[in-house]
Structure 1
Amino acid sequence: MKILAVADEECKSLWDYYKPEKLADIDMIVCCGDLSAHYVSFLATMAPMPVIYVHGNHDESYDWEPPGGAICIDDEVYVHNGVRFVGLGGSCRYRKGAWQFTEAEMRARIRRLRGRIDRMGGVDVVVTHAPMHGYGDLSDLPHRGFTVFHELLDAYKPQLMLHGHIHMNYGANIPREHQYGPTRIINAYERFVVDVEPRAVIKPTFWERFLGHK
């Protein structure tokens, strides 16, 4: 499956200068937050494939006027063509406002998802807004990633983690990609195309799920 991941800044090539052939070989569009709802709605209207999204820390307006035609996967497991996605939008809490979380709050969100992930036999793509701490984040709190994401990647070893939040134009030395064990971590700033393949689903037994949640 070929995924077009977008985040943080609207791509003029896809919006102002859109042509259908630009999405000809794309199977899924994944929006990683802090994008205009009109832009996400435009992609969902024009694209002949699913468009899924998580909230960025500046996407409070999505809560009362969500992007039309797109599918919110925050705190959900979404499956398309055998590829399992899980969504965890928002950033580290650095001010008052929606879609910001402490480490404890993000851990609680992940804990609530574990049962659904286990029943699906794991996850292939983790979709977030904030990066994982130490893998593409910055040192200041507004741009710090979540340490608890390590636990999610260690437990399920997804093929991909797609995030936004860190703009590539913040500095010349910001890398686009990182590798964490078998997981390829990609900053989706503006646009990035990546392939992912469905994996064989081996669902854990009751006792494996029980012991995994102790």
Structure 2
Amino acid sequence: MVRVLAVSDEVVDSLQHGVVDELAPDLIIGAGDLPFEYLEKLMIRFEAPCVFVPGNHDRDLSGFKRTRRGWMQAGLPTTDPGPQGAVNADGRIVTVAGVRVAGLGGCIRYNSGPNQYREATQRQRANRLALQRFRYRLTPGAGGVDILLTHSPARGIGDAEDGPHRGFRCFLPLIYRLRPQLMVHGHIHPHGQPPMDHTILHRKRRPGASLRSSTISMNTVGYSVFDIEPGSGPVEVLRRRHGS
């Protein structure tokens, strides 16, 4: 069982002053739109690794690459562009603290800012992400991806109707292909009201196949603490705080 602290969009000062110390998370995941210094402080405070994806208010991290010689940009040495020591899962499948995370950052394009994508572009990114399961020989369901980490929700599942906060339609086919236990996103501010978690039913199972039948979509604006058993089992939410 792995204990996860998921954060997004709103800095919660009490997290830095002992509010969840007794819960002792093994992993921190960031769903975007948080100061990188905040994620660094959480990593230090809880002595836990961090996996994140960028939100639409975060710095553009494209063009940076980590090599054996360190971080590079346009062929030149540079410093870590994200939270120091954290793992950027945007467009990747990574395993940290025993949890396999597939990540897609950004939101629907609504202006010329960073980390915004048209539906067609995000669909291409989602397709490339889904294909990575073959590289790692992952089986959807048990033994496959545990968490799909995004900044934006899926269209029609916990999103909003205004332009900047509409979700991506391509996330549903991605969920059907990866079949994660949990989808964690931010971006939609509930303004102090606890948002409803959504159960996404998968397409019909193949005869004889052992696959998960559903994925829980969780809005983690503020923070959420939950236990997850990698590869199987339900997710148990221990504590949440949504909106200021």
Return the TM-score normalized by structure 1. 0.84
Q: Which has the higher helix share?
A: 1
> 1:61-111: per-residue Cα shift (whole Å, max 9, x none)?
666842112111111111134421001000000000210001111111112
User: Any conservation in 1 of the 2:199–2:216 contact (CA below 8 Å)?
Assistant: yes
CA RMSD across the alignment: 2.0
Pair 1:52 & 2:51 matched:
yes
User: Any conservation in 1 of the 2:130–2:174 contact (CA below 8 Å)?
Assistant: no
Shift of 1:38: 1.2
- Corresponding residue of 1:120: 138
User: Any conservation in 1 of the 2:4–2:29 contact (CA below 8 Å)?
Assistant: yes
Return the TM-score normalized by structure 2. 0.74
User: Any conservation in 1 of the 2:127–2:174 contact (CA below 8 Å)?
Assistant: no
Mapping of 1:60-99 within 5 angstroms? Answer: 60=59, 65-99=81-115
Alignment equivalent of 1:175, drawn from 192, 195, 199: 195
Quickly say closer, same or farther: Cα 1:156–1:65, change in 2 above 3 A: closer
- Corresponding residue of 2:42: 43
Instruction: Provide the secondary structure at the position in 2 that maps to 1:153.
Output: helix
Pair 1:130 & 2:152 matched:
yes
Structure 1 unaligned runs (5+)? Answer: 201-214
User: Any conservation in 2 of the 1:54–1:128 contact (CA below 8 Å)?
Assistant: yes
User: Any conservation in 2 of the 1:45–1:69 contact (CA below 8 Å)?
Assistant: no
Instruction: Provide the secondary structure at the position in 2 that maps to 1:26.
Output: coil
Q: Which has the higher strand share?
A: 2
Instruction: Provide the secondary structure at the position in 1 that maps to 2:101.
Output: strand
User: Any conservation in 2 of the 1:44–1:68 contact (CA below 8 Å)?
Assistant: no
Shift of 1:155: 1.6
Q: In structure 2, how many angstroms separate the alpha carbons of the residues matched to 1:18 and 1:38?
A: 18
User: Any conservation in 1 of the 2:123–2:170 contact (CA below 8 Å)?
Assistant: yes
Structure 2 unaligned runs (5+)? Answer: 63-79, 202-213, 233-244
Q: In structure 2, how many angstroms separate the alpha carbons of the residues matched to 1:37 and 1:52?
A: 12
